[in-house]
Amino acid sequence: MIDDIKKDAQSRMQKSLEALHQNFNKIRTGRAHSSILDAVTVEYYGSQVPLNQVASINVEDARTLSVVPWEQQMVPKIEKAIMTSDLGLNPASAGNVIRVPMPMLTEETRKGYIKQARQEAEHARVAVRNVRRDANGDLKSLLKEKAITEDEQHQAEEAIQKLTDSIIAEIDKALESKERDLMQV
């Protein structure tokens, strides 16, 4: 039972870390990266679908993405979807290729993105701590039911705390890396 609680806590903490990495990918740096457009959805035959399901997204050079729709009539819809997304990008189409230039980041926007990255990291830390709280609560209920001893509960709580500390250290390392990326000119 204790192993199940530990495994559940570990998988939930890993999911929090993966979600943080996905959120960091949405915060754009000065360089072009195809994952920037992952959050963009396009209307395709009456339903909203991710952009990467209706077009090929490639990095043309360090500051430009190229989006090539699989169907010609999707060009204006994709352009509109990129413009209306909260990414602050201005696509330009040339025939059936949409080029998305990455604007230079000003000092002010860099600081705003760093603030956003720190908020995302804090949300991830809180999620990890909530998982730890849930796991410790499960251990306490097992102790009340006399399914485990106090020593087993104490050892399991220590193991969960070590896991929590290691995941939070990974979150801090990811935040540091993202801040370094954002401050690079």
- CATH number for 95: 3.30.1360.40
Query: From residue 174, how far is each of 11, 24, 26, 37 by CA, in Å?
Result: 18, 9, 14, 20
What is the tens place of the pLDDT at every residue in 131-172? 999 999 999 998 899 888 889 989 999 999 999 999 999 999
pLDDT for position 73: 86
What is the tens place of the pLDDT at every residue in 59-83? 888 788 888 998 888 888 888 888 8
Residue ranges making up the domain that contains 18: 1-27+106-183
Are 144 and 96 within one domain? no
Q: How many CA atoms lie within 13 A of 31 on its CB side?
A: 12
Number of domains, the chain: 2
Q: Give the residue among 36, 30, 32 at the shortest CA–CA distance from 51.
A: 36
Are 82 and 127 within one domain? no
Are 175 and 126 within one domain? yes
pTM beyond 0.75, yes or no: no
Q: Binning pLDDT at 50, 70 and 90, where does residue 28 land?
A: low
Q: Is the dihedral of CA 93, 94, 95, 97 positive or negative?
A: negative
**Which residues are 148's β-sheet partners?**
none
Percent pLDDT > 90 in the chain is: 32
pLDDT for position 159: 93
